Amino acid sequence: IREMAGQTKYLVDYYHYFAGAADKIHGEVIPTEKPTMFNYTLREPVGVVGAIVPWNSPLLLLSWKLAPALAAGCTMVVKPAEQTSASTLEFARLVLQATDLPPGVFNVVTGYGPSAGGALARHPDVNKLAFTGSSQTGKIIAHAAAENHTRLSLELGGKSPNIVFEDANLDNAVNGIMKGIFAATGQTCMAGSRLLVHDSVMEELLDKLAHRARQIKLGDPQNMDTEMGPVAFKEQLDKIKYYCQKGVEEGAKVVVGGKPPERADLTRGYFFEPTIFRDVHNQMQIAREEIFGPVLCVIPFSTEAEAIQLANDTPYGLGAGIWTYNVQRAHRLAKAIKAGTVWVNNYRVVSYASPFGGFKASGYGRENGLEAIRDYTQVKSVWIELSDRVGDPFTLG
């Protein structure tokens, strides 16, 4: 509730921002080399948007799609995850009750992914699909959308690196690392699940991080004092257990956690301890595949070039963190790392005004900011002949 309360309060700002952007959407007059032609563009809404939203942060990720779509003049049909559809239905009820939004502009369809989600993805009257979820499901959505050449934006998974250099403020870095992997019980696409640490500060950082991880308060997710609640459902817990077992089999060493807690009041829930693995190399399964839980893989590096190579040695490219006070190095890495968002001396910071999205297997298209509005519009070019004469019909131009 601590995480969700903050997100829900923040949603108001998203809608205010995009409401203010609605009348700033425009085309442009383009000077061309044609002396008798006047050319301008119109930026028009794409039309009907199908949004498929995951079970983690459902209202936030819905709003990332709905706010810019409405600002652009689109209508939307949203299919929430079957595990968390209640919040979207309640949101829809409040929209009907408290706004003058015309009927049919915002619609909710509940159901399972293959049936309801698949039908939405394949529907010929849907002009654009906006999907957030796993990379595997993203491939299925992309195939379905291709049947009708439907426009598509995908915000998919990640295996994001958090890179700590020798000159970093280690106490700040520990806070950022925890924010990246243990907030929301690690169930976030931008989780900083790979920690790349310079050899010279590895032991000191691990000691600080392990100490803090052991102090994390697990408990009732409806208690504001709780820092980590359970994972969302049993299948997700089983997945986390599998990867932790696999990590041990591959030779990684558990520093903290690696199992469900033994505390009596937590045994009936889908709880899993904050987990840190060391002695991890980048080819291990736990370092390459998205776990979507509170599991951190610690990987050493010796040089800046090695840090860049390790950071980019992944099929994903959603986010990255850099911890250094060397400004030149920070800019070099921000440019070199193949990720849609790079944080320097912080992690897991987003804004309605700044674009968010992935590279590579983490998807394409952008949410938030004016880039999001561009994803919900299409551009039309208009040419006006200003002279009284049309030229040679057998030539272009």
What digits encode the pLDDT tens for the residues 173-194?
999 999 999 999 999 999 999 9
Residue 197 pLDDT > 90: yes
Residues 330 and 249 in one domain: yes
Say if 74 falls within a structural domain: yes
Which residues are catalytically annotated? 155, 189
Residues 44 and 126 in one domain: yes
Mean pLDDT of the chain, nearest integer: 97
Residue 1, helix vs strand vs coil? coil
Q: Which residues touch 10 (CB under 8 Å, ≥6 apart)?
A: 60
Question: Residue 125 is part of a domain; what is its CATH number?
Answer: 3.40.605.10
Residues 211 and 239 in one domain: yes
Per-residue pLDDT tens digits for 232-257 = 999 999 999 999 999 999 999 999 99
Residues 49 and 75 in one domain: yes
**Alpha helix stretches (DSSP H) within the chain:** 2-21, 58-72, 85-98, 118-122, 135-146, 170-181, 202-214, 234-249, 285-288, 304-312, 327-336, 369-375
Question: Residue 202 is part of a domain; what is its CATH number?
Answer: 3.40.309.10
Residue 50 pLDDT > 90: yes
Residues 147 and 165 in one domain: no
Predicted TM-score of the model (pTM): 0.95
Residue 397 pLDDT > 90: no
139-161 average pLDDT score = 97
Per-residue pLDDT tens digits for 70-112 = 999 999 999 999 999 999 999 999 999 999 999 999 999 999 9
221-237 average pLDDT score = 96
The reported pLDDT for the residue numbered 4 is 87
The reported pLDDT for the residue numbered 23 is 96
The reported pLDDT for the residue numbered 174 is 99
Q: State the Cα torsion 221-222-226-231 to the nearest 10°.
A: 10
153-157 average pLDDT score = 97
Residues 237 and 377 in one domain: no
Residues 336 and 239 in one domain: yes
Structural domain boundaries enclosing 49: 2-156+358-384
What tokens were used for 169? 């403020």
Residues 35 and 142 in one domain: yes
Residue 205, helix vs strand vs coil? helix
